[in-house]
Chain A
Amino acid sequence: MKLITAIIKPFKLEDVKGALEGKGITGLTVSEASGFGRQRGHTEVYRGAEYTVDLVPKVRVEVLVDDENADTVVEAIVGAAQTGRIGDGKVWVIPVDSVVRVRTGERGSEAI
Protein backbone atom coordinates (compact mmCIF):
# COMPACT_ATOMS: atom_id res chain seq x y z
CA MET A 1 0.00 0.00 0.00
CA LYS A 2 1.08 3.54 -0.67
CA LEU A 3 0.23 6.96 0.73
CA ILE A 4 0.13 9.58 -1.98
CA THR A 5 0.47 13.16 -0.78
CA ALA A 6 -0.12 16.03 -3.17
CA ILE A 7 0.46 19.73 -2.48
CA ILE A 8 -1.54 21.67 -5.06
CA LYS A 9 -2.89 25.11 -5.80
CA PRO A 10 -6.14 25.61 -3.87
CA PHE A 11 -8.22 26.40 -6.96
CA LYS A 12 -7.16 23.08 -8.52
CA LEU A 13 -8.77 21.01 -5.75
CA GLU A 14 -12.04 20.43 -7.61
CA ASP A 15 -10.23 19.25 -10.76
CA VAL A 16 -8.05 16.88 -8.75
CA LYS A 17 -11.05 15.48 -6.87
CA GLY A 18 -12.85 14.94 -10.16
CA ALA A 19 -9.85 13.17 -11.68
CA LEU A 20 -9.47 10.90 -8.63
CA GLU A 21 -13.14 9.97 -8.63
CA GLY A 22 -12.70 9.03 -12.29
CA LYS A 23 -9.99 6.59 -11.23
CA GLY A 24 -12.29 4.88 -8.74
CA ILE A 25 -10.75 6.35 -5.62
CA THR A 26 -13.28 6.03 -2.79
CA GLY A 27 -11.74 8.30 -0.17
CA LEU A 28 -9.29 11.09 0.33
CA THR A 29 -8.24 13.64 2.93
CA VAL A 30 -7.94 17.35 2.20
CA SER A 31 -6.34 19.94 4.45
CA GLU A 32 -5.19 23.52 4.22
CA ALA A 33 -1.46 23.98 4.06
CA SER A 34 0.99 26.76 3.43
CA GLY A 35 4.56 26.78 2.34
CA PHE A 36 6.89 27.61 -0.48
CA GLY A 37 8.96 25.91 -3.12
CA ARG A 38 11.12 27.39 -5.81
CA GLN A 39 8.52 30.09 -6.43
CA ARG A 40 9.34 31.54 -2.94
CA GLY A 41 6.69 33.97 -1.70
CA HIS A 42 5.27 37.20 -3.00
CA THR A 43 5.30 40.85 -1.96
CA GLU A 44 2.37 42.87 -0.63
CA VAL A 45 2.35 46.60 0.12
CA TYR A 46 0.33 48.18 2.94
CA ARG A 47 0.47 51.94 3.43
CA GLY A 48 3.73 51.98 1.52
CA ALA A 49 5.40 49.29 3.64
CA GLU A 50 6.44 46.18 1.71
CA TYR A 51 5.81 42.81 3.27
CA THR A 52 7.38 39.65 1.87
CA VAL A 53 4.93 36.83 2.32
CA ASP A 54 7.02 33.64 2.36
CA LEU A 55 4.25 31.13 2.87
CA VAL A 56 1.77 30.71 0.06
CA PRO A 57 -1.60 29.04 0.72
CA LYS A 58 -1.85 25.51 -0.67
CA VAL A 59 -4.11 22.48 -0.34
CA ARG A 60 -2.77 19.11 0.76
CA VAL A 61 -4.53 16.03 -0.66
CA GLU A 62 -3.77 12.60 0.81
CA VAL A 63 -4.90 9.32 -0.76
CA LEU A 64 -4.26 5.70 0.31
CA VAL A 65 -4.00 3.25 -2.61
CA ASP A 66 -2.89 -0.29 -3.42
CA ASP A 67 0.60 -0.57 -4.86
CA GLU A 68 -0.59 -1.26 -8.40
CA ASN A 69 -2.80 1.85 -8.52
CA ALA A 70 -0.17 4.29 -7.29
CA ASP A 71 1.24 5.34 -10.65
CA THR A 72 -2.11 5.96 -12.31
CA VAL A 73 -3.34 8.01 -9.34
CA VAL A 74 -0.18 10.10 -9.32
CA GLU A 75 -0.58 10.72 -13.03
CA ALA A 76 -4.22 11.67 -12.55
CA ILE A 77 -3.32 14.19 -9.85
CA VAL A 78 -0.47 15.69 -11.84
CA GLY A 79 -2.62 15.90 -14.95
CA ALA A 80 -5.43 17.67 -13.13
CA ALA A 81 -3.29 20.03 -11.03
CA GLN A 82 -0.93 21.21 -13.72
CA THR A 83 -1.13 24.75 -15.02
CA GLY A 84 2.45 24.88 -16.28
CA ARG A 85 3.14 27.96 -14.19
CA ILE A 86 5.41 28.26 -11.19
CA GLY A 87 3.86 27.13 -7.89
CA ASP A 88 1.90 24.13 -9.19
CA GLY A 89 3.04 22.01 -6.23
CA LYS A 90 4.42 18.51 -5.69
CA VAL A 91 3.23 14.92 -5.40
CA TRP A 92 5.10 12.23 -3.50
CA VAL A 93 4.50 8.58 -2.64
CA ILE A 94 5.53 6.71 0.49
CA PRO A 95 5.03 3.07 1.53
CA VAL A 96 2.44 2.26 4.20
CA ASP A 97 2.91 -0.67 6.63
CA SER A 98 -0.67 -1.20 7.66
CA VAL A 99 -4.15 0.30 7.43
CA VAL A 100 -7.17 -0.40 9.65
CA ARG A 101 -10.76 0.67 8.96
CA VAL A 102 -12.00 1.92 12.31
CA ARG A 103 -15.65 0.92 11.88
CA THR A 104 -15.14 -2.76 10.97
CA GLY A 105 -11.59 -3.56 12.02
CA GLU A 106 -10.71 -4.67 8.44
CA ARG A 107 -7.00 -4.54 7.69
CA GLY A 108 -4.73 -4.08 4.69
CA SER A 109 -6.15 -3.64 1.19
CA GLU A 110 -9.66 -4.38 2.51
CA ALA A 111 -9.48 -1.21 4.56
CA ILE A 112 -8.58 1.12 1.68
Chain B
Amino acid sequence: MQSALDTGNTAWVLTSAAMVLLMIPGLAFFYGGMVRTKSVLNMLMMVMGSLFVVGILWVAFGYTVAFGTDTGSGLIGSITENAWLTNLMADAPDAALPAMAFVAFQAMFACITVGLIAGAIADRTKFSAWLIFSALWATIVYFPVAHWVWAAGGWIFKLGVIDFAGGTAVHINAGAAGLALAIVIGRRVGWKKNPMRPHNLTLVMIGAGLLWFGWFGFNAGSALAANNAASVVFVNTFVATCAAGIGWLVVEKIRDGHATSLGAASGIVAGLVAITPACSALSPIGSIILGALAGVVCALAVGLKYKLGYDDSLDVVGVHLVGGLVGTLAIGFLATDLAPAGVNGLFYGGGLDQLGKQAIGAFAVLFYSLIVAGLLGLLLKYTIGIRITKDDEVAGIDLTEHAESAYELGESGGGGVFAGVGHAARAKMEVE
Protein backbone atom coordinates (compact mmCIF):
# COMPACT_ATOMS: atom_id res chain seq x y z
CA MET B 1 0.00 0.00 0.00
CA GLN B 2 1.19 3.52 -0.79
CA SER B 3 2.18 5.37 2.40
CA ALA B 4 0.86 8.92 2.85
CA LEU B 5 3.82 9.74 5.09
CA ASP B 6 5.36 13.16 4.40
CA THR B 7 9.01 12.68 5.22
CA GLY B 8 9.88 16.38 5.06
CA ASN B 9 7.20 17.36 7.55
CA THR B 10 8.02 14.44 9.82
CA ALA B 11 11.71 15.34 9.82
CA TRP B 12 10.91 18.95 10.70
CA VAL B 13 8.58 18.05 13.56
CA LEU B 14 11.07 15.57 15.06
CA THR B 15 13.88 18.12 14.69
CA SER B 16 11.69 20.78 16.28
CA ALA B 17 10.95 18.45 19.18
CA ALA B 18 14.67 18.06 19.83
CA MET B 19 15.10 21.85 19.58
CA VAL B 20 12.39 22.39 22.17
CA LEU B 21 14.10 19.85 24.44
CA LEU B 22 17.28 21.95 24.18
CA MET B 23 15.30 24.90 25.52
CA ILE B 24 14.97 23.08 28.84
CA PRO B 25 18.68 23.09 29.75
CA GLY B 26 18.70 26.57 28.15
CA LEU B 27 16.04 27.64 30.62
CA ALA B 28 17.98 26.00 33.44
CA PHE B 29 21.08 28.06 32.54
CA PHE B 30 19.03 31.24 32.09
CA TYR B 31 17.56 30.81 35.56
CA GLY B 32 20.70 29.28 37.06
CA GLY B 33 22.86 32.28 36.23
CA MET B 34 20.39 34.59 37.93
CA VAL B 35 20.44 32.93 41.34
CA ARG B 36 23.25 33.18 43.87
CA THR B 37 26.28 30.88 43.88
CA LYS B 38 24.78 28.77 46.63
CA SER B 39 21.61 27.82 44.77
CA VAL B 40 22.52 27.40 41.10
CA LEU B 41 22.56 23.59 41.19
CA ASN B 42 19.14 23.47 42.82
CA MET B 43 17.77 25.64 40.03
CA LEU B 44 19.25 23.34 37.38
CA MET B 45 17.83 20.37 39.27
CA MET B 46 14.35 21.86 39.56
CA VAL B 47 14.13 22.41 35.81
CA MET B 48 15.61 19.03 34.88
CA GLY B 49 13.68 17.23 37.65
CA SER B 50 10.31 18.43 36.40
CA LEU B 51 11.37 17.29 32.93
CA PHE B 52 11.86 13.74 34.22
CA VAL B 53 8.52 13.64 36.01
CA VAL B 54 6.35 15.31 33.39
CA GLY B 55 7.99 13.34 30.57
CA ILE B 56 6.81 10.07 32.06
CA LEU B 57 3.36 11.41 32.90
CA TRP B 58 3.01 12.64 29.32
CA VAL B 59 3.51 9.15 27.98
CA ALA B 60 1.34 7.56 30.68
CA PHE B 61 -1.74 9.77 30.37
CA GLY B 62 -0.77 13.38 29.59
CA TYR B 63 -0.97 13.01 25.84
CA THR B 64 -4.33 11.34 25.86
CA VAL B 65 -5.79 13.85 28.33
CA ALA B 66 -4.53 16.71 26.16
CA PHE B 67 -5.01 15.36 22.67
CA GLY B 68 -7.26 12.29 23.01
CA THR B 69 -10.77 12.48 21.58
CA ASP B 70 -12.76 15.13 23.43
CA THR B 71 -15.08 13.72 26.07
CA GLY B 72 -17.80 16.10 24.95
CA SER B 73 -17.30 18.95 27.36
CA GLY B 74 -14.38 20.62 25.62
CA LEU B 75 -12.49 20.35 28.90
CA ILE B 76 -10.53 17.11 28.66
CA GLY B 77 -9.58 14.38 26.21
CA SER B 78 -10.25 10.68 26.63
CA ILE B 79 -8.19 9.34 29.54
CA THR B 80 -8.08 5.76 28.26
CA GLU B 81 -7.81 6.19 24.47
CA ASN B 82 -4.02 6.56 24.20
CA ALA B 83 -2.87 5.62 27.69
CA TRP B 84 0.81 4.59 27.59
CA LEU B 85 0.73 5.21 23.81
CA THR B 86 0.81 1.49 23.01
CA ASN B 87 -1.90 1.94 20.38
CA LEU B 88 0.14 4.60 18.54
CA MET B 89 3.12 2.40 17.67
CA ALA B 90 1.73 0.70 14.59
CA ASP B 91 2.50 2.29 11.22
CA ALA B 92 -0.55 4.18 9.96
CA PRO B 93 -0.26 4.28 6.15
CA ASP B 94 -2.79 7.10 5.77
CA ALA B 95 -1.10 9.44 8.23
CA ALA B 96 1.08 12.22 6.76
CA LEU B 97 2.69 12.78 10.15
CA PRO B 98 3.22 9.84 12.52
CA ALA B 99 1.23 10.26 15.74
CA MET B 100 4.39 9.62 17.73
CA ALA B 101 6.12 12.62 16.11
CA PHE B 102 3.32 14.85 17.40
CA VAL B 103 3.47 13.10 20.79
CA ALA B 104 7.20 13.79 21.01
CA PHE B 105 6.85 17.43 19.97
CA GLN B 106 4.07 18.17 22.43
CA ALA B 107 5.85 16.28 25.21
CA MET B 108 8.56 18.92 25.26
CA PHE B 109 5.97 21.69 25.61
CA ALA B 110 4.51 20.04 28.69
CA CYS B 111 7.96 19.62 30.25
CA ILE B 112 9.23 23.15 29.64
CA THR B 113 5.98 24.75 30.83
CA VAL B 114 6.35 23.15 34.25
CA GLY B 115 10.05 24.07 34.33
CA LEU B 116 9.21 27.75 33.75
CA ILE B 117 7.43 27.90 37.12
CA ALA B 118 10.63 27.04 39.02
CA GLY B 119 12.05 30.53 38.54
CA ALA B 120 9.37 32.07 40.76
CA ILE B 121 10.32 29.99 43.79
CA ALA B 122 14.11 29.82 43.50
CA ASP B 123 16.50 29.25 46.41
CA ARG B 124 13.97 27.97 48.96
CA THR B 125 11.76 25.15 47.69
CA LYS B 126 12.02 21.60 48.97
CA PHE B 127 13.10 19.46 46.01
CA SER B 128 10.69 16.62 46.81
CA ALA B 129 7.77 19.03 47.13
CA TRP B 130 8.68 20.59 43.78
CA LEU B 131 8.62 17.22 42.02
CA ILE B 132 5.24 16.37 43.54
CA PHE B 133 3.92 19.80 42.58
CA SER B 134 5.20 19.26 39.02
CA ALA B 135 3.27 16.00 38.73
CA LEU B 136 0.06 17.41 40.21
CA TRP B 137 0.10 20.71 38.33
CA ALA B 138 0.86 19.01 35.00
CA THR B 139 -1.98 16.57 35.60
CA ILE B 140 -4.63 18.98 36.84
CA VAL B 141 -3.65 22.13 34.95
CA TYR B 142 -1.31 21.71 31.97
CA PHE B 143 -2.76 18.60 30.32
CA PRO B 144 -6.37 19.87 30.41
CA VAL B 145 -5.38 23.41 29.42
CA ALA B 146 -3.40 22.09 26.43
CA HIS B 147 -6.63 20.32 25.47
CA TRP B 148 -8.69 23.52 25.84
CA VAL B 149 -6.28 25.51 23.68
CA TRP B 150 -5.00 23.13 21.01
CA ALA B 151 -7.18 20.03 20.71
CA ALA B 152 -9.81 20.12 17.99
CA GLY B 153 -12.52 19.63 20.63
CA GLY B 154 -11.10 22.02 23.24
CA TRP B 155 -13.42 24.87 24.27
CA ILE B 156 -10.89 27.68 23.82
CA PHE B 157 -9.88 26.29 20.42
CA LYS B 158 -13.50 26.07 19.34
CA LEU B 159 -14.09 29.64 20.51
CA GLY B 160 -11.64 30.75 17.81
CA VAL B 161 -8.87 31.98 20.09
CA ILE B 162 -5.51 32.19 18.32
CA ASP B 163 -2.67 30.73 20.36
CA PHE B 164 -0.25 29.38 17.82
CA ALA B 165 2.48 28.00 20.06
CA GLY B 166 1.49 28.62 23.65
CA GLY B 167 0.90 32.19 24.85
CA THR B 168 -1.97 30.98 27.01
CA ALA B 169 -1.26 27.27 27.45
CA VAL B 170 2.44 27.73 28.19
CA HIS B 171 3.33 31.24 29.31
CA ILE B 172 0.22 32.68 30.97
CA ASN B 173 -0.32 29.25 32.47
CA ALA B 174 3.19 28.96 33.95
CA GLY B 175 3.35 32.63 34.92
CA ALA B 176 0.09 32.45 36.88
CA ALA B 177 1.23 29.28 38.64
CA GLY B 178 4.53 30.97 39.50
CA LEU B 179 2.68 33.92 41.01
CA ALA B 180 0.49 31.66 43.15
CA LEU B 181 3.43 29.58 44.38
CA ALA B 182 5.62 32.61 45.11
CA ILE B 183 2.83 33.96 47.33
CA VAL B 184 2.18 30.60 49.06
CA ILE B 185 5.86 29.85 49.68
CA GLY B 186 6.74 33.36 50.81
CA ARG B 187 9.75 35.57 50.40
CA ARG B 188 13.34 34.46 50.63
CA VAL B 189 15.25 35.22 53.81
CA GLY B 190 16.63 38.73 53.47
CA TRP B 191 14.60 39.63 50.40
CA LYS B 192 14.74 43.35 49.64
CA LYS B 193 17.36 43.79 52.41
CA ASN B 194 20.29 41.71 51.15
CA PRO B 195 21.54 42.00 47.61
CA MET B 196 20.61 38.84 45.69
CA ARG B 197 22.61 39.57 42.61
CA PRO B 198 22.76 37.21 39.63
CA HIS B 199 25.93 35.20 40.16
CA ASN B 200 26.80 34.47 36.52
CA LEU B 201 25.46 36.68 33.76
CA THR B 202 27.41 34.87 31.05
CA LEU B 203 25.45 31.74 31.98
CA VAL B 204 22.23 33.77 31.72
CA MET B 205 23.18 34.86 28.19
CA ILE B 206 24.10 31.31 27.16
CA GLY B 207 20.69 30.22 28.40
CA ALA B 208 18.92 33.02 26.53
CA GLY B 209 20.80 32.06 23.34
CA LEU B 210 19.81 28.39 23.66
CA LEU B 211 16.22 29.43 24.33
CA TRP B 212 16.15 31.61 21.21
CA PHE B 213 17.56 28.80 19.07
CA GLY B 214 15.16 26.22 20.48
CA TRP B 215 12.25 28.62 20.18
CA PHE B 216 12.38 28.29 16.39
CA GLY B 217 11.42 24.66 16.98
CA PHE B 218 8.79 25.77 19.47
CA ASN B 219 7.12 28.29 17.15
CA ALA B 220 7.98 27.27 13.59
CA GLY B 221 7.65 23.61 14.57
CA SER B 222 4.09 24.32 15.71
CA ALA B 223 3.15 24.61 12.03
CA LEU B 224 3.63 20.82 12.12
CA ALA B 225 4.91 21.05 8.57
CA ALA B 226 7.98 22.31 6.72
CA ASN B 227 5.95 24.83 4.78
CA ASN B 228 5.22 28.51 4.18
CA ALA B 229 3.48 29.02 7.51
CA ALA B 230 6.51 27.66 9.36
CA SER B 231 8.75 30.05 7.42
CA VAL B 232 6.60 33.12 8.15
CA VAL B 233 6.48 32.13 11.80
CA PHE B 234 10.26 31.71 11.82
CA VAL B 235 10.89 35.23 10.56
CA ASN B 236 8.29 36.77 12.88
CA THR B 237 9.80 34.95 15.86
CA PHE B 238 13.24 36.19 14.91
CA VAL B 239 12.43 39.84 14.37
CA ALA B 240 10.07 40.28 17.32
CA THR B 241 12.85 39.09 19.60
CA CYS B 242 15.30 41.63 18.18
CA ALA B 243 12.75 44.38 18.78
CA ALA B 244 12.09 43.21 22.35
CA GLY B 245 15.80 43.26 23.15
CA ILE B 246 15.96 46.89 22.01
CA GLY B 247 12.75 47.76 23.87
CA TRP B 248 14.04 46.40 27.17
CA LEU B 249 17.43 48.12 26.82
CA VAL B 250 15.86 51.48 25.99
CA VAL B 251 13.77 51.32 29.17
CA GLU B 252 16.87 50.50 31.19
CA LYS B 253 18.95 53.23 29.62
CA ILE B 254 16.30 55.86 30.31
CA ARG B 255 15.29 54.61 33.76
CA ASP B 256 18.56 53.30 35.23
CA GLY B 257 21.22 54.94 33.08
CA HIS B 258 22.77 51.74 31.72
CA ALA B 259 21.84 49.08 29.18
CA THR B 260 22.65 45.79 30.94
CA SER B 261 23.40 42.27 29.73
CA LEU B 262 20.71 40.91 32.04
CA GLY B 263 18.30 43.32 30.36
CA ALA B 264 19.33 42.05 26.93
CA ALA B 265 18.84 38.42 27.94
CA SER B 266 15.51 39.24 29.58
CA GLY B 267 14.38 41.18 26.52
CA ILE B 268 15.14 38.18 24.34
CA VAL B 269 12.92 35.96 26.45
CA ALA B 270 10.16 38.58 26.77
CA GLY B 271 10.04 38.95 23.00
CA LEU B 272 9.98 35.20 22.42
CA VAL B 273 7.16 34.82 24.95
CA ALA B 274 5.06 37.56 23.38
CA ILE B 275 5.47 36.40 19.78
CA THR B 276 4.68 32.78 20.69
CA PRO B 277 0.88 32.99 20.43
CA ALA B 278 0.99 35.64 17.70
CA CYS B 279 3.67 34.39 15.32
CA SER B 280 1.17 32.96 12.80
CA ALA B 281 -1.16 35.96 12.88
CA LEU B 282 1.14 38.96 12.40
CA SER B 283 3.17 40.51 9.62
CA PRO B 284 6.88 41.06 10.20
CA ILE B 285 6.14 44.74 10.91
CA GLY B 286 3.43 43.74 13.36
CA SER B 287 5.94 41.38 14.97
CA ILE B 288 8.45 44.21 15.43
CA ILE B 289 5.76 46.37 17.06
CA LEU B 290 4.68 43.52 19.33
CA GLY B 291 8.27 42.66 20.24
CA ALA B 292 9.16 46.25 21.11
CA LEU B 293 5.97 46.59 23.15
CA ALA B 294 6.71 43.36 25.03
CA GLY B 295 10.28 44.45 25.77
CA VAL B 296 9.10 47.77 27.20
CA VAL B 297 6.12 46.41 29.14
CA CYS B 298 8.01 43.45 30.65
CA ALA B 299 10.97 45.66 31.62
CA LEU B 300 8.51 47.81 33.56
CA ALA B 301 6.54 44.85 34.91
CA VAL B 302 9.47 43.16 36.64
CA GLY B 303 9.46 46.01 39.18
CA LEU B 304 5.89 45.21 40.27
CA LYS B 305 6.99 42.55 42.75
CA TYR B 306 8.78 45.14 44.87
CA LYS B 307 5.67 47.29 45.03
CA LEU B 308 3.28 44.40 45.67
CA GLY B 309 5.62 42.50 47.97
CA TYR B 310 5.77 38.98 46.47
CA ASP B 311 9.17 37.41 45.85
CA ASP B 312 8.88 36.09 42.30
CA SER B 313 12.61 35.46 42.39
CA LEU B 314 13.46 35.39 38.69
CA ASP B 315 10.49 37.33 37.31
CA VAL B 316 8.38 34.52 35.91
CA VAL B 317 5.37 36.79 36.38
CA GLY B 318 6.95 39.89 34.88
CA VAL B 319 8.28 38.06 31.82
CA HIS B 320 6.04 35.05 31.18
CA LEU B 321 2.64 36.07 32.56
CA VAL B 322 2.87 39.67 31.39
CA GLY B 323 4.64 38.77 28.11
CA GLY B 324 2.07 36.04 27.44
CA LEU B 325 -0.79 38.47 28.03
CA VAL B 326 0.80 41.12 25.80
CA GLY B 327 1.23 38.62 22.96
CA THR B 328 -2.15 36.97 23.34
CA LEU B 329 -4.07 40.24 23.51
CA ALA B 330 -1.98 41.97 20.82
CA ILE B 331 -3.33 39.48 18.31
CA GLY B 332 -6.68 41.25 18.74
CA PHE B 333 -5.09 44.47 17.52
CA LEU B 334 -2.27 43.50 15.19
CA ALA B 335 -3.49 40.35 13.40
CA THR B 336 -3.60 40.63 9.63
CA ASP B 337 -5.34 38.22 7.30
CA LEU B 338 -2.26 38.20 5.07
CA ALA B 339 -0.57 36.05 7.73
CA PRO B 340 -1.12 32.27 7.90
CA ALA B 341 -3.81 32.52 10.64
CA GLY B 342 -5.93 34.61 8.24
CA VAL B 343 -7.62 36.86 10.81
CA ASN B 344 -7.82 40.65 10.99
CA GLY B 345 -7.40 42.45 14.31
CA LEU B 346 -8.73 45.86 15.30
CA PHE B 347 -6.00 47.81 13.51
CA TYR B 348 -6.61 45.91 10.27
CA GLY B 349 -10.36 46.46 10.21
CA GLY B 350 -11.30 43.26 12.03
CA GLY B 351 -13.19 44.99 14.85
CA LEU B 352 -13.18 43.91 18.48
CA ASP B 353 -14.34 40.34 17.89
CA GLN B 354 -10.94 38.67 17.95
CA LEU B 355 -9.73 40.78 20.88
CA GLY B 356 -12.71 39.64 22.95
CA LYS B 357 -11.98 36.00 22.19
CA GLN B 358 -8.30 36.44 23.03
CA ALA B 359 -9.16 38.03 26.36
CA ILE B 360 -11.53 35.22 27.32
CA GLY B 361 -8.90 32.58 26.51
CA ALA B 362 -6.11 34.44 28.29
CA PHE B 363 -7.98 35.17 31.51
CA ALA B 364 -9.66 31.76 31.73
CA VAL B 365 -6.25 30.09 31.71
CA LEU B 366 -4.77 32.72 34.03
CA PHE B 367 -7.36 32.27 36.77
CA TYR B 368 -7.62 28.50 36.47
CA SER B 369 -3.86 28.07 36.82
CA LEU B 370 -3.54 30.70 39.55
CA ILE B 371 -6.24 29.10 41.70
CA VAL B 372 -5.23 25.46 41.23
CA ALA B 373 -1.51 26.16 41.67
CA GLY B 374 -2.30 28.11 44.84
CA LEU B 375 -4.38 25.25 46.23
CA LEU B 376 -1.70 22.69 45.35
CA GLY B 377 0.91 24.87 47.02
CA LEU B 378 -1.19 25.10 50.19
CA LEU B 379 -1.80 21.34 50.12
CA LEU B 380 1.94 20.68 50.03
CA LYS B 381 2.67 23.40 52.58
CA TYR B 382 0.38 21.85 55.18
CA THR B 383 1.29 18.21 54.49
CA ILE B 384 4.91 17.43 53.64
CA GLY B 385 6.04 21.07 53.72
CA ILE B 386 7.01 23.02 50.62
CA ARG B 387 9.90 25.07 51.93
CA ILE B 388 13.32 24.24 53.38
CA THR B 389 14.24 25.53 56.83
CA LYS B 390 15.54 29.03 57.30
CA ASP B 391 18.95 27.71 58.38
CA ASP B 392 19.22 25.52 55.28
CA GLU B 393 18.19 28.40 53.06
CA VAL B 394 20.86 30.67 54.53
CA ALA B 395 23.51 27.93 54.33
CA GLY B 396 22.56 27.39 50.68
CA ILE B 397 20.06 25.02 49.10
CA ASP B 398 22.68 23.37 46.87
CA LEU B 399 24.46 22.02 49.91
CA THR B 400 21.45 21.18 52.05
CA GLU B 401 19.18 19.64 49.40
CA HIS B 402 21.77 18.12 47.05
CA ALA B 403 25.02 17.89 49.08
CA GLU B 404 26.93 19.64 46.30
CA SER B 405 28.41 23.04 45.60
CA ALA B 406 28.59 24.39 42.07
CA TYR B 407 32.00 25.99 41.97
CA GLU B 408 35.29 24.60 43.26
CA LEU B 409 37.72 27.29 42.20
CA GLY B 410 40.51 27.54 44.76
CA GLU B 411 43.09 24.85 45.47
CA SER B 412 42.01 24.77 49.08
CA GLY B 413 38.48 24.13 47.90
CA GLY B 414 35.62 26.55 47.76
CA GLY B 415 36.86 29.33 45.52
CA GLY B 416 37.96 32.28 47.61
CA VAL B 417 37.80 32.96 51.29
CA PHE B 418 34.05 33.46 51.49
CA ALA B 419 32.91 30.34 49.68
CA GLY B 420 34.34 27.49 51.69
CA VAL B 421 31.10 25.57 52.15
CA GLY B 422 31.88 22.87 49.60
CA HIS B 423 35.18 22.18 51.22
CA ALA B 424 33.61 22.03 54.65
CA ALA B 425 31.03 19.54 53.45
CA ARG B 426 33.65 17.31 51.87
CA ALA B 427 35.79 17.41 55.00
CA LYS B 428 32.76 16.38 57.02
CA MET B 429 32.10 13.45 54.71
CA GLU B 430 35.69 12.32 54.96
CA VAL B 431 35.53 12.38 58.74
CA GLU B 432 32.40 10.30 58.70
Q: B417, A33: Cβ atoms under 8 Å?
A: yes
Q: Are A48 and B416 in contact (CB under 8 A)?
A: no
A51 and B195 form a contact (CB under 8 A): yes
Residues of A within 8 A of B417 (CB): 31-33
A52 in contact (CB, < 8 A): yes
Query: How long is the Cα–Cα vector from A44 to B315 in the complex, in angstroms?
Result: 18
- Give A38 to B198 CA distance when docked, in angstroms: 27
B195 touches A52 (CB 8 A): yes
The answer to whether B252 touches A48, judged by C-beta atoms less than 8 angstroms apart, is yes
Query: A48 CA to B318 CA in the complex, in Å?
Result: 12
Q: Are B258 and A46 in contact (CB under 8 A)?
A: no
Chain B stretch 318-333: residues in CB contact (< 8 A) with chain A: 318
In the complex, what distance in Å separates the CA atom of A108 from the CA atom of B260? 55
Q: Min CB distance, B182 to chain A, in Å?
A: 15
| Complex CA distance for A63 and B286, rounded to whole angstroms | 66
- Chain A residues contacting B266 (CB-CB under 8 Å) are 47
Interface residues on A, range: 10 to 19
In the complex, what's the smallest C-beta–C-beta distance from A27 to chain B, in angstroms?
19
Interface residues of B in 199-255 (CB under 8 A from A): 252, 255
C-alpha gap A51/B257 in the complex (Å): 14
Q: A32-B416, A32-B417, A33-B417 are in contact. Are A45 and B195 (CB under 8 A)?
A: no
Cα A33 to Cα B416 with chains together (Å): 9
- What is the distance, in angstroms, from B28's C-beta to the closest C-beta of chain A? 19
With a cutoff of 8 Å between Cβ atoms, the chain A residues found around residue B252 in the complex are 45, 48
A53 at the interface (CB under 8 A from B): yes
Q: A32-B416, A32-B417, A34-B418 are in contact. Are A48 and B195 (CB under 8 A)?
A: no
Mostly, the A contact residues are: strand
**Cα A33 to Cα B418 with chains together (Å):** 9
Closest chain-A Cβ to B158's Cβ sits at a distance in Å of: 39
What is the total of A-B residue contacts with beta carbons within 8 Å?
Answer: 39
Say yes or no for A49: interface residue by CB 8 A criterion: yes
Complexed CA–CA distance, A31 and B198 (Å)? 25
> Which of B60-68, B74-82, B130-138, B299-307 forms part of the interface with chain A?
B299-307
Bound-state Cα–Cα, A49 to B34, Å:
13
Q: In the assembled complex, how far is the CB of residue A50 from the closest CB belonging to chain B, in whole angstroms?
A: 8
B262 lies within 8 A of A46 (CB):
yes
- Are B418 and A45 in touch, CB under 8 angstroms? no
Among B258, B303, B416, B418, point to the contact of A49 (Cβ < 8 A): B303
Neighbour of A46 across the interface among B260, B318, B418, CB < 8 A: B260
Q: In chain B, what residue has the closest Cβ to A48?
A: B303
Q: Which of A31, A32, A44, A48 contacts B197 (CB 8 A)?
A: A44
Number of interface residues of B (CB under 8 A): 22
Asked if A47 and B302 sit within 8 Å, CB to CB, the answer is yes
**Residues 69-99 of A at the B interface (beta carbon under 8 Å):** none
A52 to B258, alpha carbons, bound, how many Å? 16
Is B430 on the interface with A (CB-CB < 8 A)? Answer: no
Instruction: Tell me, yes or no, whether B263 is within 8 Å of chain A by CB.
Output: yes
Q: Give every chain A residue within 8 A of B299 (Cβ-Cβ).
A: 47-48
Residue B411 is within 8 A (CB to CB) of chain A in the complex: no
Does B256 touch A at the CB level, under 8 Å? yes
- Determine the chain B residues whose CB is within 8 A of the CB of A32 once the complex forms: 416-417
List A contacts of B260 (CB < 8 A).
45-46
Q: Complex formed: what's the CA distance from A34 to B404 in Å?
A: 25
- Chain A residue contacts of B263, Cβ below 8 A: 47
Flag if A47 contacts B195 (CB, 8 Å): no
Q: How far is the CA of A52 from the CA of B27 in the complex (A)?
A: 28
Chain B residue numbers with a CB within 8 Å of A31 are 417
Interface residues as binary, A32-46 with B (CB distance below 8 Å gives 1, 0 otherwise): 111000000000111
B416 and chain A: residue at smallest CB distance: A32
Mark each residue of chain B from 277 to 299: 1 if its CB lies under 8 Å from any CB of chain A, else 0.
00000000000000000000001
Once bound together, how far apart are the Cα atoms of A48 and B307, in whole Å?
A: 12
CB distance from A52 to the nearest CB of B (A): 7
Nearest 4 A-B pairs (CB), nearest first? Answer: A51-B195, A45-B256, A47-B302, A48-B303
Pairs A–B under 8 Å by Cβ, sample size 19: A34-B418, A44-B195, A45-B252, A45-B258, A46-B197, A46-B198, A47-B262, A47-B263, A47-B299, A47-B302, A47-B303, A48-B252, A48-B256, A48-B303, A49-B303, A51-B195, A52-B195, A53-B195, A53-B197
